[in-house]
Amino acid sequence: MDNKKIRIGIIAEYNPFHNGHIYQINEIKKRWPNSEIIVSMSGKYVQRGQLAITTFEQRKKFALENGVDEVYELPFEYATQAAHIFAQGAIKQLNEHKIDLLVFGSETNQIDDFYLIAKTIKDNEKYYYELIRSKMKEGISFPKANQLVLEKLINKSFTLPNDILGLEYVKAIVNNDFKIKAHCIKRVVGFNSDEIIDNITSATNIRKMIFAQDHSYKKYTPMIFETIPDKIENYYKDFQKIVINSSNEELKQIKLISEGMENLFKKHINEKTYEDFVNKTNSKRYTSSRIQRAMLYVLLQIKKEENI
């Protein structure tokens, strides 16, 4: 009899590791008792261009203590990019670690729709990207253009954050012909939500509590924060200095700076706070997440030609 364990992949930031993640791990163990859980996790910086709330090693420790078997760091060049690049890097990494299944949290929990959309895009790739480019020329961001094009092609799209990311995972599996089967588990609470159900709330809500020194965060995560964690907002003055002292041409050499973003950054660089700057520079074309990622790359001075 074959007792080979099923290797199940999770893509995560664990920012912080919390009770919702424990729920997901326990659900996996219930559904696939003979399994090992392998995690691809962001390092010091997360997908929205911000500092993780604590170190990679700390987050890894809590994951391992709560039922995960292996944790691998997702390289910076994937961890701090838009959803499709983030997903490509993470799926590639998990495939190298020979996972059989990928499990992710979903708002809709309709796995068949993820596969239908991924296969439709693959089968109509040229036409799909022509439509996307056409929409983006109208000044629409990629996520919104993607939604509109999918609705036109098959009258289906995903609009909620985890579903959008989940679709990118399934696309990466389908496009690369990886022998990985994707499954989703319905999220208990929404992404970014302040909603609390039993002892579960979103990572965003937990971070708010931690930064506000509201110790009720301890109901929702096993992690303990004795001091207020560092955050990217604390480096806004350094970011301002770099932008002010750099020419437009120098800024254009920074990875993720494109389509005249250097002019936009120069125009609004005297905004008082990080939040003010993001609010002034985001638009239909540039989402807040894209602005924040570009700000991180400016702060770290990562140039287009550099291999990270």
- The whole-number pLDDT of residue 136 equals 85
CA-based max dimension of the chain? 68
- Closest to 17 measured CA to CA, from 66, 87, 51, 74: 66
Mean pLDDT (whole number) for 85-110: 95
Please calculate the CA angle 191-72-180 and round it to the nearest 5 degrees: 75
- Closest to 229 measured CA to CA, from 209, 248, 254, 205: 209
- The whole-number pLDDT of residue 1 equals 38
- The whole-number pLDDT of residue 191 equals 55
Mean pLDDT (whole number) for 172-186: 95
Q: Rounded distance, CA 8 to CA 64, Å?
A: 14
Q: What are the angstrom distances between the C-alpha of 105 and each of 187, 208, 245, 246? A: 5, 21, 43, 42
Confirm whether pTM is higher than 0.85. yes
Per-residue pLDDT band for 193 (boundaries 50, 70, 90) equals: low
Averaged pLDDT of the chain: 92
- Closest to 13 measured CA to CA, from 98, 69, 78: 78
Crossing angle of the two packed helices 236-245 and 288-299, in degrees rounded to 10: 70
Mean pLDDT (whole number) for 107-123: 90
Rg of the chain's alpha carbons, rounded to an integer? 20
Half-sphere exposure of 304 (CA within 13 A, CB side): 9
- The whole-number pLDDT of residue 110 equals 87
Report DSSP letters for 110-123, one per residue.
-HHHHHHHHHHHHH
pLDDT for 120-164, tens place per residue? 989 988 998 899 889 888 888 877 888 888 888 888 777 777 888
pLDDT for 274-307, tens place per residue? 999 999 999 878 889 999 999 999 999 999 875 5
Mean pLDDT (whole number) for 68-73: 98
- The whole-number pLDDT of residue 307 equals 53
